[in-house]
Structure 1
Amino acid sequence: MSGHDALVVARVVVGVSGSLGSITALRRAGPLARRLGAELWPVLAWEPPGGDPAGRRSPAVAVPDEEWQRLAGERLLAVLEEVFGGRGPGVPMRALVVRGAAGRALVAIADREDDLLVVGAGRRGLQRPFSGRVRRHCLGHAGCPVLAVPPSPLESQLLAVHRRNAWHLPLDTRGL
C-alpha cells in the first residue's frame, strides 16, 4: 500500500454475542472506529434454540420470535453497557439485533467496500465442532476487510482457573 492509499472506513461492524471473544472484539472495535472516524455497528445475530426447523416442529419451543428478539436486544444492551458504560463508544453507533446465522448476518450487514468487519478470533487449539465457524465464514465471504481479534490473554487464564476449580469438590464446612 502506498502512502496515498490509506484505508477509508465508514463503518466498523462488529459481531457481538456476549462471549469473551466477542467482548474483546468490541473493546478493540470502539477505539478503532474513533481512530478511523467511522460509525460503530455492533451486531448480535440470534437463532431460535435448535434452529428454525426444530422451532417449527416442536411445541416445547413455543417461545414467540418477538420474545427471542427482545432477549437478544437485552443481551446486546448489557454487553454495550459492560464495555462502554454510560459514556458510549465516542462515535456514532447503530446497534443491531438480527435473526439469522451470525456469519451470514455479519457479512450481509458489512456489505460495503468501505466497511471493516471485526470478529473475535476464538481460542487457538479449541477442538469444539463449531469453534471458529463465524470467523471462518466472515473471512471467506466478506466483501470488505475483516479483522479477527485474538483473544485476551486474560481469557486463557480465566479458563485455566475454571478448569482447576471444576475438578475440586466443594469443601465441607459443617465442622468448622
Structure 2
Amino acid sequence: MIAEEREEAVRKVVVGATGTPGSLAALHKAAAEARVRDAELWVVLAWQPPGGELGSRNCLGPAALAECRAAVVERLREVLDTAFGAVNPGVTLAGLTVRGTPGAVLVDTARDPDDLLVVGTGSRTVWRRLVRPSVARYCVAHAACPVLAVPPSPLQAELESVHRRNVWRIPLDLRELAP
C-alpha cells in the first residue's frame, strides 16, 4: 500500500465490550483514543452459541441460532446505552457482534497496523486464570497493531471485596468507613 492510500484508509479503534466494569472502562478509554486519533470507534461483542461450537453443530437449529444472534445484538445495545446513554461519544461509532472466541475476534477485527486495539485486563485472580484464559494476553501476543490494555478501576476491587463480604456474610467493620 502506498503512502497516499494509507492516509485514505479508515483508521479505527477497536474495543471489546461485554458490559463488565472492566470492559466499560476500556470502552471509555477507547472512545477517548478515537477522539484524539480522529478515528472510528468499533465496539465488538464476540459470542458463541450455548454449548460452544461443537454443541451448536448437533443441537441448535437455525431458529435457535437466530435467537442467540438477536440476544447478542440486544446485549450490545444495552452495553452502549450503559456506557454512553444519551451522550454522544464524539466519534463515529460502529457496533459489531461476531461469532467466535473474544481474543481471535478482536485480533481479526483490528488487523490493520494503523488500528488500535483496546482491551480491559479485568480482575485476574488465581481462580479466574485457571478457569478462563486472558483475552488481553491473547490480543497482545497475536495482534498486528498496537494494543492498549486498560487496567481495572480501583473501585472495582473494592466492589468485589464488598461482594465477597456479602457472599460469606462477614460483618462490616465500621472503622473501615472512617477516612
TM-score by length of 1: 0.84
Equivalent position amino acid for 1:166 in 2: V
Whole-Å separation in 1 of the counterparts to 2:22 and 2:121: 7
Residues 30-39 or 109-118, more deviating: 30-39
Q: Which residue of 2 aligns with 1:3?
A: none
Cα distance, 1:130 vs structure 2: 4.2
Within 5 A, what are the aligned runs for 1:133-172? 133-168=134-169
Whole-Å separation in 1 of the counterparts to 2:56 and 2:62: 7
Whole-Å separation in 2 of the counterparts to 1:65 and 1:89: 31
Q: Which residue of 2 aligns with 1:123?
A: 123
Q: Which residue of 1 aligns with 2:16?
A: 15
User: Is the 8 Å Cα contact of residues 122 and 132 (structure 1) preserved in structure 2?
Assistant: no
Once superposed, which parts of structure 1, at least 4 consecutive aligned residues long, lie more than 3 Å away?
A: none
Cα distance, 1:123 vs structure 2: 1.4
Cα distance, 1:63 vs structure 2: 6.2
Residues 118-127 or 98-107, more deviating: 118-127
TM-score by length of 2: 0.82
**Larger relative helix fraction:** 2
Equivalent position amino acid for 2:67 in 1: E
Q: Which residue of 2 aligns with 1:39?
A: 40
Cα distance, 1:168 vs structure 2: 2.1
Cα distance, 1:134 vs structure 2: 1.2
Whole-Å separation in 1 of the counterparts to 2:148 and 2:131: 20
Q: Which runs of 5+ in 1 are unaligned?
A: 1-8, 170-176
Whole-Å separation in 1 of the counterparts to 2:79 and 2:122: 18
Label 1:36 to 1:62 Cα distance change in 2 as closer, same or farther (>3 A). closer
Whole-Å separation in 1 of the counterparts to 2:56 and 2:92: 36
Q: SS at 2:94's partner residue?
A: coil
Whole-Å separation in 2 of the counterparts to 1:115 and 1:29: 12
User: Is the 8 Å Cα contact of residues 121 and 132 (structure 1) preserved in structure 2?
Assistant: no
Whole-Å separation in 2 of the counterparts to 1:18 and 1:49: 19
Q: SS at 1:95's partner residue?
A: strand
Equivalent position amino acid for 1:134 in 2: V
Whole-Å separation in 2 of the counterparts to 1:10 and 1:138: 19
Q: Which residue of 2 aligns with 1:174?
A: none
Identical positions, percent: 49
Q: Which runs of 5+ in 2 are unaligned?
A: 1-9, 171-179
Label 1:78 to 1:39 Cα distance change in 2 as closer, same or farther (>3 A). same
Per-residue CA distance 1:66-113 (angstroms, 9 max, x = gap): 111111111111111111112221101111011111111111110101
